[in-house]
Amino acid sequence: MHALLAVSRIIDAINMRLGKWVSWLVVIVVIISAANAVSRKMLGLSSNAWLELQWIMFSIIFMVCSPWTLMSNEHIRIDIVNTAFPKSVRNWIDIVGHVAFLLPLTIVMIVTGWPFFVASFELNEQSFNAGGLPQWPAKSLVVIGFTLLFFQGISELIKRIAVMRGLIPDPYEQTLSPAEAEAERLLAEIKPDN
C-alpha cells in the first residue's frame, strides 16, 4: 500500500502543479476578452480567432483544472446529505462513486474522444467561422482532461482506502469550511514574522 500511496502523491503533485499553472490562463482570457470587446466596440474591429481563442482557453482551464478540483475536495457534492452520514458511510460512498461512476465515465470519454480528436487532427479541421482557429487542439482537451481526471480518480481511491485502513489521516477532515480554511491560509501568509 505504501507504493500505491507514493503513486498517489505523484499524481496529486502533477495535477496540482498543472492546475495552478493553467489557472493563470484566467487572467489571459480576461485580457483577451476585454481587448476584443474594446476593439469591437470602439474601433469596429472584430476577430473570430480571438473569440475562439477565449473559448479554447476556457476549455483548457475547465478540463485541466478538474482533477485539481477533485483532489482539493471542491467538486460538486450534496453536502447536506453527505454530512448526515457517518464517516464510514461517506468513505464507502466516495469509493463506490469513484469506481461505479467517475472512472467508467472517464474511460468512456477517453475511448470515444480519441478517434474524434485523431480524425480532426488528420483533417487539420478548421473552424467554420471566417478567420477561425484549427479545431483539433480543442478536441484534444477531451482526451487530455479526462486522462488526468482518470488518474486523479485512481489517486483518490488509493487515499480513501488508506484512510479507511488507518494508514494516513483523512486529507479532507477539517473543522473549517474550504473558504474559511483558505482565509486562514491567506492570513497566515500576510502576517509579518515576529
Q: Can you give the residue range of the structural domain that contains 22?
A: 2-171
Number of domains in the chain: 1
Q: Please give the model's pTM, rounded to 2 decimal places.
A: 0.82
- pLDDT at position 125 over 60: yes
182 neighbors 101 (Cβ within 8 angstroms): no
Confirm whether 155 is domain-assigned: yes
The verdict on residue 152 lying in a domain is yes
33, part of any domain: yes
Is the residue at 137 inside a domain?
yes
In angstroms, the CA 29 to CA 39 distance is 15
Residue 87 lies in a domain: yes
Q: Does residue 12 form part of some domain?
A: yes
Residue 59's pLDDT is: 94
In a domain, 106, yes or no: yes
**84: in domain:** yes
pLDDT at residue 177, rounded to an integer: 63
Name the average pLDDT for the chain.
Answer: 89
Distance between CA atoms of residues 123 and 126, nearest Å: 9
For 2-35, what is each residue's pLDDT tens digit? 899 999 999 999 999 999 999 999 999 999 999 9
Is 110 or 183 the better-scoring residue by pLDDT?
Answer: 110
Q: Does residue 142 carry a pLDDT above 90?
A: yes
CA pair distance 85, 156, nearest whole angstrom? 20
pLDDT digits (tens, 9 = 90+) for 64-111: 999 999 998 887 766 666 677 888 888 898 899 999 999 999 999 999
pLDDT tops 70 at residue 194 = no
Query: Which residues on neighbouring strands pair with residue 134, listed in sequence order?
Result: 126
